[in-house]
Structure 1
Amino acid sequence: MSELHYMSAVEQARLIRTRQVSAVELVQAHLDRIEQVNPGVNAIVTLTAESALERAKEADTSVPRGPLHGLPIAHKDLVDTAGIRTTYGSLQFADHVPESDDLIVTRLRAAGAITVGKTNTPEFGTGSHTVNEVFGATRNPYDRSRSAGGSSGGAAAALASGMVPLADGSDMGGSLRNPASFCNVVGLRPTPGRVPDIADRAAWFTLATLGPMARTVDDLVLMFQVISGFHPGSPYAITEPFAPDPELSVQGLRVAYSPDLGGLPVDPATAAVTATAPRVFESLGAHVEQVDLDLSDAEDAFRVYRAWSYAMNFSGLRDPGPNIAWNVEQGRRVTGDDLARAEQLRTGLYQRMAAFFDTYDVLIAPVSQVPPFPVEQPYVTEVDGDPMPDYLAWMRSAYWVSVLHAPAASVPAGFTESGLPVGVQIVGRPFADATVLRFARAFEQVTGYGTRRPAL
């Protein structure tokens, strides 16, 4: 049991259910692991060891509450947790303690999960590099001189390090997928509405979504079934519950491969790893075709919607960080004509991709355009010789997909020659989350890249 912290969540749940391991033993094993490795990684920023052990004792003497009974979990420091400090990565909220849980936390706790802490995130989740003025930077477990990605970088690094078996995250422009790619774990951006969120403003905003992260696809599915499902507090929540695809094989299914999503620059080290994915799916019996795909209309649509949302949500914030301030300023310039253009571009993309997915079951492409970059670097300034105009531009391969209203998973796809993780992005038609995870599991099972652990 010395490697209990690296067992899958599915196996940990089985051990708890059959009473081969107690919840106290399981939680303590993860708390020990956090004590051992978190100082060098900085993934868990608020630890709840005492309350976690109390809940574990209760779990050992109670009837199992759900599929996650006794399993430790960490929540992104953007979601509210009753009685637990939630800073949003902002100095203004450094001592903030919410009075109630967000819906995703409520569902996880109801399923028996035990909160051991909060995971690091950039200020209000702004950016794909996890660093803030409250807690500093989260470091990549595979190379602590490198970024863990973001904005769910703390979650991804905690999973990769064996601190927790499951973690929640959120994604507007890649924040579930990019850190999963950087840290060799699995992250799913679900179809918006699959994991409902109760918003007190902009309840109809579909560019951002909550989602699950784990070390394996089966673990992710275990968590996904808990956090998904209808809630009347969200006006676009999907009514039918998520159910995994009972079929495991991808033989005979159709895969479109785009190495650059229509001309995006991709670092050669990332491109070399991603280029191996088509051969894997071919070996599994899928029909793979490289496609010329142009998603460039997503650029304007994403930036307009994102800017508008920042102006609405953060205009009243005192002394925001530079990324927040820049986004708010961009949002204040958005006009009605801009929103109309963005809506038309997004509608056109949706209809074209609907036709695309009549031909193909999934699209595979790079998650991120670069491998993990130096942790001291605020953001990527150039990709394969192309200068990036701002801190957003290097993540186009993720945020263009966000505009499609489609499910997208990042699955470990291999390592660069210097040992840095790279993920492959699997995108499906809207509402076909189960199909995406079917392909992700098939890829994971035959490659086994996700079983390679960091040398911590």
Structure 2
Amino acid sequence: MTTETTHVSATQLAAEIRRGERSPIDAVDAVFERIERNDDLNAFVQLREAEAREEAAEAAQAIENGEPVGPLHGVPIALKDLDSFIEGMPCTYGSKPFADHVPDRTTVIVERLLDAGAIVVGSTNTPEFGHKGDTTNPLFGATGNPFDPSKTAGGSSGGSAAAVAAGMVPIALGSDAGGSIRIPASACGVYGLKPTAGLVPEDSRPDALESAAPFICLGGLTTTVADTALLLDIVAGDHPRDPLSVPDERLDYLAATNRAIDDLSIAYSPDFGVFPLEDEVAARVDTVVDTLERAGATVERTDPDFEPSFDEMMEAEYVTFETVLASTAESLERREGVDLLPDHREDLSPKLVQLMENGYDHSAVAFKQADVVRTATYDAIQNVLDDHDLLLTATLGVPPFEKGRLGPETVNGEPIDPHMEWLLTWPLNLTGQPAASVPAGLSDDGLPIGAQLVGPRFGEEELLAASAAIERRQPWVDDLP
């Protein structure tokens, strides 16, 4: 029986477990051995070792008994230490004041994965309350990049991306409010898709509507496109506890990864017409154009015609994101009795304090006027998608930089906002359209660079088909450490 599972996809691992060629016990054993071996990356912050081993034994017995099993039966997965949690395992939000916080419930996305047979082995590192694109926090420290542990793994789902890229688990959950799935996917050379807003339910409490502005979406980080497709097949669909969720249209996302793309028209705007890009990033994304054309797609250079200025769009993202952070602080004070800014300021990340304070300063009118900018941004992107099936850009303006930094201070020698201006991801959180980061190759220093594919609302099948076509012709799994 095979026991080594490094970089074996979830779809392959699940199939081999069902056939009795791999044991869930051995798969879980291998996960904990690799987590220990890769301790220097600081990807995991919580472990369910005893529970996972017990669940693996039960999964193995089910196979031996010939019982019906789910599509992820016996497959180890990781959660993000922020907004996907399982009852009884600490969820700290990467924050010292919540170091001992233990949820008394399991979130919907995790329940669906458990029903599919997955085994939760632990949770992964995140910047405090997911507030930035580098995974560093005062409670657990920084997560390193598997390609170079001194470099950033991205954020805020950086622990999940590092865990997948290092082969610790085949699937790790993430969330995306400004690029937090796509940023670390690009930085760590794995695949990450932010679904259409509402496609994957989020039963957040006490605010069931918090994912509306900016659009906050749940998803995962995987080594293969098929694994993300399988994940969507399992977790997509409305839920009565999420008033923003949308009905399941019974689409077959996994089947979409085998579709030809010779009927797809793709607009190509490497920089959205407004973002700065390092030259080697632009060069790697250009290779994806060639790959798509070799797969039969038609690619045309087209920039969105944004009516709002770049600064207005960036301000809209700041206003919505900062207001959500301030509202989160208010809810935690009311629900948990933890008053973050007055009582724990010294324990928090300085940037988080600044963002929360800004959020308290925004008026309700400013918050709603940001929706006017969001609407114009949506229209600009949708105008492109009216004439094309997908839009291709870079994911990030730069390759991975030193971990622990907020972001680069310059791109091509020009000064930028280190929190926002190197991320080509957040416009899609203003608008809610689905977007994926696809590995596009390595920089001259051997660090991953990602390309971003954008689709119309509920265009996940086309996104997955194009992503899989790139993967077949430009495979990235062999680049992983």
Give the shorter-chain TM-score range: over 0.9
5 Å-filtered alignment, 1:354-365, equals: 354-365=382-393
Residue equivalent to 1:264: 275
Counterparts of 1:226-375 in structure 2, within 5 Å, are 226-241=234-249, 242-244=251-253, 246=256, 248-295=259-306, 296=310, 298-315=313-330, 316-317=339-340, 318-319=344-345, 320-375=348-403
Alignment RMSD:
1.6
Q: Could you report, residue by residue, the CA deviation over 1:347-387 in whole angstroms, capped at 9, with x for unpaired residues?
A: 22223333321201000101111110011433222222222
Preserved CA contact (<8 Å) 2:267 2:384: no
For 1:429, the equivalent position in structure 2 comes to: 456
Quick one: distance in 1 between partners of 2:282 and 2:379?
Answer: 29
Indicate if the aligned counterparts of 2:3 and 2:23 stay in contact, CA closer than 8 A.
no
* Aligned-pair identity (%): 39
Q: 1:118 aligns with which of 96, 106, 123?
A: 123
Q: Report the CA distance between 1:201 and its aligned residue.
A: 4.0
Q: Which amino acid aligns with 1:453?
A: L
Q: List per-residue Cα deviations over 1:103-140 (Å, max 9, x = no partner).
A: 11111111111111110001011101001111111100
Deviation at 1:390, TM superposition (A): 4.7
Instruction: Note the alpha carbon deviations across 1:360-417, whole angstroms, 9 max, x for none.
Output: 100010111111001143322222222223523332x111122121000111110011
CA distance in 2, matches of 1:292, 1:188: 22
Preserved CA contact (<8 Å) 1:314 1:324: no
Corresponding residue of 2:80: 76
User: Shift in Å at residue 2 of structure 1?
Assistant: 5.8
- State how far apart, in whole Å, the 2-side matches of 1:26 and 1:262 are: 46
Structure 2: gaps (5+ residues): 331-338
Give the superposition deviation at 1:102: 1.2
**Contact 2:43/2:160 (CA < 8 Å) preserved in 1?**
yes
Change (3 A) 1:358 1:16: same
Give the Cα separation in 1 of the matches to 2:390 and 2:262.
13
SS of structure 1 residue aligned to 2:431: coil
Moved more, 64-73 or 187-196: 64-73
Q: What is the CA–CA distance in structure 2 between the aligned matches of 1:144 and 1:336, rounded to whole Å?
A: 42
83, 100, 104: which one aligns with 2:109: 104
TM superposition outliers: structure 1 runs of 4+ over 4 Å: none
Name the counterpart of 1:57: 57
Aligned to 1:40: 40
Q: Which amino acid aligns with 2:42?
A: N
In 1, the alpha carbon distance for the partners of 2:68 and 2:144 equals 36
Report if the CA contact (8 A) 1:261-1:294 is conserved.
Answer: no
Contact 1:165–1:214 (CA<8 Å) still a contact in 2? Answer: yes
CA distance in 2, matches of 1:34, 1:356: 43
Instruction: Return the letter of the residue paired with 1:170.
Output: S
Distance in 1 of aligned mates of 2:407 and 2:374: 27
Instruction: Out of 39-48 and 171-180, give the one that drifted further.
Output: 39-48
CA distance in 1 between counterparts of 2:263 and 2:19 reads 39
Q: Taking structure 1 as the reference length, what is the TM-score of the superposition?
A: 0.95
TM-score, normalised relative to structure 2: 0.90
Query: What letter is aligned with 1:254?
Result: S
- In terms of mean alpha carbon deviation, does 100-109 or 333-342 score higher? 333-342
Aligned counterparts of 2:172 and 2:364: Cα–Cα separation in 1: 38
* One-letter amino acid matched to 1:298: M
Per-residue deviation at 1:269?
2.2
For structure 1, list consecutive stretches of 5 or more residues without a partner in the other structure: none
| SS in structure 2 of the partner of residue 210 of structure 1 | strand
The separation in 1 between residues aligned to 2:407 and 2:373, in whole angstroms, is 27
